């Protein structure tokens, strides 16, 4: 068991990704619970994710994620969300700050969720997504999202995933 776990910091949506700022680690637990509540365009969501730390990985278990379709939304306006997968992605911005981010690692799981005005709710449960500590440590962004293969709905966490950063000038 590790003597340190990672505390979360400020998260905000920047396009389709989440920007993360590292905070000091805490020695309390190897399991961290994140409250998920918010919306992005036509997707409204609420639930919780547990992050478990192993020697080389972070396991993100979506314990429960309630989803609701909002047909009045302007962003990602669509008549249905036919979600093909839920994913977590670790990325880095380009050195010059322009252009697309580089995906360091992605883990995704298939879904068969279809949300419409006539069938507006669904729930995802017990889904495990895994990222290596190495890819998270090298990333600028770590994002959780639902996608239909064309549109992306970012899912913001109240306390974000934090990329552990090695000390500057140290080992």
Confidence of residue 20 (pLDDT cuts 50, 70, 90): very low
**Does any domain span residue 24?**
yes
Degrees, nearest 5: CA angle 126-154-34: 50
Please tell me the predicted confidence (pLDDT) of residue 89.
93
Structure confidence by residue, pLDDT tens digits, 63-95: 999 999 999 998 888 999 999 999 999 999 988
Phi then psi for residue 6, to 5 deg, are -95, 130
pTM of the model: 0.73
Strongest mean pLDDT among 88-92, 95-99, 129-133, 154-158: 129-133
State the Cα–Cα distance between residues 27 and 1, nearest whole angstrom. Answer: 11
Q: Are 132 and 56 in contact (CB under 8 A)?
A: yes
- Provide the percentage of residues in the chain whose pLDDT is more than 90: 56
Residue 127 sits in which domain range? Answer: 12-154
State the Cα–Cα distance between residues 120 and 100, nearest whole angstrom. Answer: 33
Contacts of 45 (CB under 8 A, 6+ apart): 36, 37, 38, 39, 65, 66, 67, 68, 155
Confidence of residue 38 (pLDDT cuts 50, 70, 90): very high
**Does any domain span residue 171?**
no
Tokens of 14: 């920047």
DSSP annotation of 79: S
**Does any domain span residue 69?**
yes
**Does any domain span residue 162?**
no
Structural domain count, the chain? 1
Taking residues 120-132, what's their average pLDDT? 97
Q: Is the pLDDT confidence value at 131 over 70?
A: yes
Q: Is the pLDDT confidence value at 129 over 70?
A: yes
State the Cα–Cα distance between residues 40 and 74, nearest whole angstrom. Answer: 10
Taking residues 139-162, what's their average pLDDT? 80
142, HSE (Cβ side, Cα atoms, 13 Å): 27
> What are the residues facing 122 on neighbouring strands?
67
**Does any domain span residue 58?**
yes
**Does any domain span residue 159?**
no
What stretches of 23-84 adopt beta strand conformation (E)? 31-40, 43-53, 57-69, 80-82
Please tell me the predicted confidence (pLDDT) of residue 4.
31
**Does any domain span residue 7?**
no
**Does any domain span residue 5?**
no
Taking residues 134-153, what's their average pLDDT? 90
């Amino acid at each position: 068991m590790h003597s340190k776990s990672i505390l979360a910091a400020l998260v905000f949506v920047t396009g389709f990704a989440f920007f993360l700022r590292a905070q000091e680690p805490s020695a309390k637990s190897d399991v961290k619970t994140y409250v998920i509540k918010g919306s992005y365009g036509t997707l409204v969501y609420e639930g919780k994710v547990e992050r478990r730390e192993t020697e080389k990985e972070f396991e993100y278990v979506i314990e429960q994620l309630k989803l609701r379709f909002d047909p009045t939304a302007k962003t990602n306006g669509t008549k249905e969300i036919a979600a093909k997968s839920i994913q977590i992605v670790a990325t880095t911005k380009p050195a010059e700050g322009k252009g697309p981010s580089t995906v360091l690692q992605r883990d995704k799981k298939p879904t068969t969720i279809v949300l419409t005005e006539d069938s507006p709710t669904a729930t995802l449960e017990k889904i495990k997504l895994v990222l290596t500590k190495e890819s998270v440590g090298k990333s600028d962004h770590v994002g959780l999202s639902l996608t239909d293969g064309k549109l992306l709905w970012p899912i913001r966490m109240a306390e974000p995933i934090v990329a552990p950063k090695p000390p500057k000038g140290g080992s």
